[in-house]
Amino acid sequence: MTTPLRVLVHGGGIGGLTLAVALARSGHTVEVVELRDELDALGVGIIQPSNALHVMREIGVLDACTAAGYPWEVLTICDPTGATLAKIPQPQLDGAPSANGIPRPELARILAEAVTAAGVPIRFGTTISDLSDDGSGVDVTLSDGSSARWDLVVGFDGIGSPLRTLLHGDRFTPEYTGFANWRVTVPRLPEVQGVVISVGRSSTKALLTPITEDSMYLAAVTAEEPGFRADPATAHEQLRERLAAFGGPVAQALAGVTGPEGIVYSRISQITVDEPWHVGRVVLAGDAAHASTPNLAQGAAMAVEDALVLARSLDAEDEVAAALTAWEDRRRPRAMFVQNLSRALLKEETGGATTPEEDELLKIGMPGAAHVLVKPY
């Protein structure tokens, strides 16, 4: 693209902020619209695998991420007693660290600072009310009553994407998997120096992820009825019941969870938009287009890869339509690999029935996936 574009990013999450920085660094005019009043990310952590860290390096925030987080190299698999079954070194992409655990609020802060440093405004407490694409631009009205014309609108507005609904109605809606995730931040145990996954005898799985020198998060994946919600008053007791069969470091971590404060309960859902991810000059990316179950810890990694590749495709092509097609041709196979294998792993870990296609993917498994995803995106 020889002429800088005017791009509106709908959603100031991990993917949207990454896109804003990448586009601004290429000279485009960008604005971010975020529904929340501030970037108050969930108070738990997130794993940044090497491919996500490579993107962080490309937008200039890798050192800030590793300084605020806990870089690590080896994934450990344990039985429910905490006895080690396997140690799996994580590969590196092009010299980036193998992985980094980081508190989500820290990642949001780092990305927001990079957005501000790049001169991109974030409009908080605002959303798109209406848009009209005439083929050469998109006229957008925001909820604050303002309106402007943009060359491109990108929906990085999450799994529940209101922009997706605006484009497609209710044709694509998140599918609940029957499983939920409980997360809570606790003091780091000295022996937890990388992610530790404990696989139970039932369908329950527990994870420990270091996110700073002093803290780690305990996560549990449990089967839950669609209508179930964690009780805000007794969530710690509910979590304890579900992890009662675990010993070792999981039990030690759990002993520190004495109240419901800080427990984040999330239903695990997924969605695929199996039509083109753009309609004219309006694009869906990240979770809005392809949210996966978190079994490979690659959802946000896919979102930031989407963001960087989109910015580069816009730089490389002369026309917006060609750039969007080239972007999706590159992104869809990788995002679908993550989604399909993540779902197969969830089924395998929880005793669900797998399809022949999923059995093929499971031959690659989690260790093999790390080597697939460490190839340039």
**Which chain residues interact with ligand FAD by CB under 6 A?**
10-16, 33-36, 46-47, 52, 127, 156-158, 162, 181, 266, 286-288, 294, 297-301, 303
Considering just the CA atoms, what is the radius of gyration of the chain in Å?
20
CB-based burial label for 322 (10 Å; 0-12, 13-18, 19+): middle
Residue nearest to ligand FAD (CB): 13
Please say which residue, 138 or 301, places its beta carbon nearer to ligand FAD: 301
Please say which residue, 4 or 105, places its beta carbon nearer to ligand FAD: 105
Please say which residue, 98 or 298, places its beta carbon nearer to ligand FAD: 298
Element (H, E) at 123: strand 122-124
Please say which residue, 197 or 297, places its beta carbon nearer to ligand FAD: 297
Please say which residue, 287 or 328, places its beta carbon nearer to ligand FAD: 287
Please say which residue, 15 or 82, places its beta carbon nearer to ligand FAD: 15
Strands 278-279 and 205-210: unpaired
Shortest separation between residue 10's beta carbon and ligand FAD, angstroms: 5
Shortest separation between residue 244's beta carbon and ligand FAD, angstroms: 21
Which SS3 state, helix, strand or coil, does residue 129 take? strand
82-91 long-range Cβ contacts below 8 angstroms, 24+ apart: 82/198, 82/246, 82/247, 82/248, 82/249, 82/250, 82/251, 83/248, 88/366, 88/367, 88/370, 90/49, 90/50, 90/194, 90/370, 91/50, 91/370, 91/371, 91/374
Cβ–Cβ < 8 Å for 52, 101: no
Which SS3 state, helix, strand or coil, does residue 243 take? coil
Please say which residue, 13 or 97, places its beta carbon nearer to ligand FAD: 13
Shortest separation between residue 356's beta carbon and ligand FAD, angstroms: 27
End-to-end Cα separation, the chain, in angstroms: 21
Phi, psi of 107 (to 5 degrees): -65, -40
Q: What does 339-363 look like in DSSP terms, one character per residue?
A: HHHHHHHHHHHHT----HHHHHHHH
CA distance 51 to 301: 7
Please say which residue, 322 or 330, places its beta carbon nearer to ligand FAD: 330
CA distance 160 to 149: 25
Residue 314 exposure: Cα atoms within 13 Å on the Cβ side: 26
Strands 84-89 and 74-78: antiparallel
Please say which residue, 55 or 323, places its beta carbon nearer to ligand FAD: 55
Please say which residue, 246 or 265, places its beta carbon nearer to ligand FAD: 265
Shortest separation between residue 58's beta carbon and ligand FAD, angstroms: 16
Shortest separation between residue 179's beta carbon and ligand FAD, angstroms: 10
Shortest separation between residue 325's beta carbon and ligand FAD, angstroms: 21
